[in-house]
Amino acid sequence: MNKDVILSNINYLCNKYSDKLDTKLSSYLNKNILPYYLLNDDAHNLNHAEYVISRSLHFADMYEGEINYNIVYTLAVYHDIAHYIDYKKHEQICAEKFFNDENLFPYFTITQRQEMREILLYHDTVQPIDKLNIYAKILRTADCDTDVQVVMQRLYNFRLRYYPLMTLGEMVEDSYKYFVVMYGERGLNINKNIIVDPSTERFKKEISILVKDKKIFTEYFIKINKISR
């Protein structure tokens, strides 16, 4: 991960959307909030932040005319900043950090902030689509991986960070169980993909093979992460 390159890419996006984004807001978020991703595990680092930001803005363009880009961008930046504190409670921590950030008060009404806190609080939890507003749909879809290789790397890096004493066999077994829960036919991450996107449809087809065959999953997991047996 090249921090300077990623931050440069994000700043480029902000400049590209300068007619829709408040530059003082994006500057504040980029300088003061994005650095928290440097403290996270490799599955939730700056690379991931850039990915979610880019996809969020892309999806926002699909609804141009009814979208507040300041809301879209702020949610994307804030969504995973607390993984390094407690990955199990990161949604709650992110939501409260956002809501209590006085530097954001001038940019959003209290109603908007309450709605944004709710979106952050449940962005990793599957909810009925009819309960989600457009901003929740954008964040949830943007936060879903669409590259099988990246998924494998995230599975591995997460376990290296939080379960370093696992054997390779235990790591593969634990990763596969999680993988099936998240990416199986009724998987949580599969069903978080609400906005139709070509990359998502392609990803679903690729992922289905690995879900059905643990042996293929294991071989791919080891190959992608360059693990010595």
Q: How many angstroms separate the CA atoms of 26 and 156, rounded?
A: 32
Confidence at residue 145, expressed as pLDDT on a 0 to 100 scale: 85
Average pLDDT across each block of 10 residues of the chain; the chain has 229 residues. List them in order.
90 96 97 96 92 96 89 98 93 97 98 97 77 91 89 92 93 94 75 75 86 94 90
Coil, helix or strand at residue 171: helix
Confidence at residue 130, expressed as pLDDT on a 0 to 100 scale: 72
Number of Cβ within 10 Å of residue 209's Cβ equals 12
Confidence at residue 191, expressed as pLDDT on a 0 to 100 scale: 65
φ, ψ (nearest 5 deg) of residue 108: -135, 145
Question: How buried is residue 171: exposed, middle or buried, by Cβ count under 10 Å (0-12/13-18/19+)?
Answer: buried
Confidence at residue 193, expressed as pLDDT on a 0 to 100 scale: 67
Q: How many angstroms separate the CA atoms of 134 and 97, rounded?
A: 22
Confidence at residue 111, expressed as pLDDT on a 0 to 100 scale: 97
Confidence at residue 132, expressed as pLDDT on a 0 to 100 scale: 87
Q: Which long-range contacts (CB under 8 A, 24 or more apart) does 201-209 make?
A: 202/146, 203/145, 203/146, 203/147, 203/148, 206/148, 207/148, 207/151, 207/183
Confidence at residue 128, expressed as pLDDT on a 0 to 100 scale: 66
Confidence at residue 188, expressed as pLDDT on a 0 to 100 scale: 63
* AA letter at 147: D
Q: Which residue has the tokens 């991931």?
A: 48
Q: Which residue has the tokens 């679903």?
A: 204
Whole-model pTM: value is: 0.86
Confidence at residue 201, expressed as pLDDT on a 0 to 100 scale: 78
Q: How many angstroms separate the CA atoms of 184 and 22, rounded?
A: 40
Q: Which residue has the tokens 């978020």?
A: 29
